[in-house]
């Protein structure tokens, strides 16, 4: 599949996605067309961060909740498929939250760093920079991830062997592969 070319009237949002409370910070910088819906942005975040899209998610923007509405919602939810990035973040420096996995509570701070014209011949979305690997799914949120990292680095830790077995014998927390992310982003259009 190829990425659809951006219409020249589109603007490109340079967005920084930072996993809240991650120390050291885990983040990605992506370039996304202004016409993308929040649902498409959700797909970009999943791919750029390295999540598996196996849990519920929501955006929290100016006190409003956006996701795919369900009869089981506790709060009123606006349909993320109906709102474009340009509508919910009309200016640079706009900040909002993307929450993924309500059990582990992975909160991402999303900041619109810049709004730019598209580059001739460029394909969007694209990740241009980032730091560190995405935590494993179901590790227990930021605090569980800290325990996980501590355990896999310390052979004397009581959970060392069970965590290594669970993760598949190794985990490179400092690894960030821009090419792999961008290969996956080619399928978001």
Mean pLDDT for the stretch of residues 129-144: 95
Chain Cα centroid distance, residue 103: 17
- For CATH 3.10.290.30, the residue range(s) in the chain are 12-132+176-185
For position 10, what pLDDT does the model report? 83
Do residues 185 and 41 lie in contact, with contact meaning Cβ atoms separated by under 8 Å?
A: no
For position 178, what pLDDT does the model report? 97
Mean pLDDT for the stretch of residues 118-145: 95
Chain Cα centroid distance, residue 106: 10
For position 4, what pLDDT does the model report? 44
Greatest distance between any 2 Cα atoms in the chain: 58
Entry pTM: 0.91
- For residue 9, name the pLDDT band (cuts at 50, 70, 90): low
pLDDT of 56 over the 70 cut: yes
Report the distance separating Cα 34 and Cα 56, nearest Å: 24
12-132+176-185: CATH number: 3.10.290.30
For position 24, what pLDDT does the model report? 94
């Amino acid at each position: 599949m190829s990425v659809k070319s951006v219409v020249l009237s589109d603007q490109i949002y340079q967005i920084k996605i930072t996993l809240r409370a991650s120390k050291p910070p885990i983040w990605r910088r992506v370039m996304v067309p202004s016409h993308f819906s929040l649902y498409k942005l959700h797909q970009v975040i999943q791919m750029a961060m390295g999540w598996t899209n196996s849990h519920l998610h929501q955006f929290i923007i100016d006190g409003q909740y956006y996701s795919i509405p369900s009869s089981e919602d506790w709060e009123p939810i606006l349909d993320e498929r109906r709102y474009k990035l340009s509508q919910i973040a009309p200016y640079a420096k706009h900040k909002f939250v993307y929450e993924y996995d309500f059990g582990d509570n992975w909160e991402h701070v999303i900041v619109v760093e810049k709004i730019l014209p598209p580059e001739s011949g460029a394909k969007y979305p694209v990740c241009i920079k980032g730091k560190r690997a995405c935590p494993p799914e179901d590790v227990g949120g930021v605090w569980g991830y800290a325990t996980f990292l501590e355990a896999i680095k310390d052979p004397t830790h009581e959970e060392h062997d069970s965590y290594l077995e669970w993760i598949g014998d190794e985990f490179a927390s400092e690894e960030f592969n821009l090419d792999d992310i961008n290969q996956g982003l080619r399928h978001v259009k």
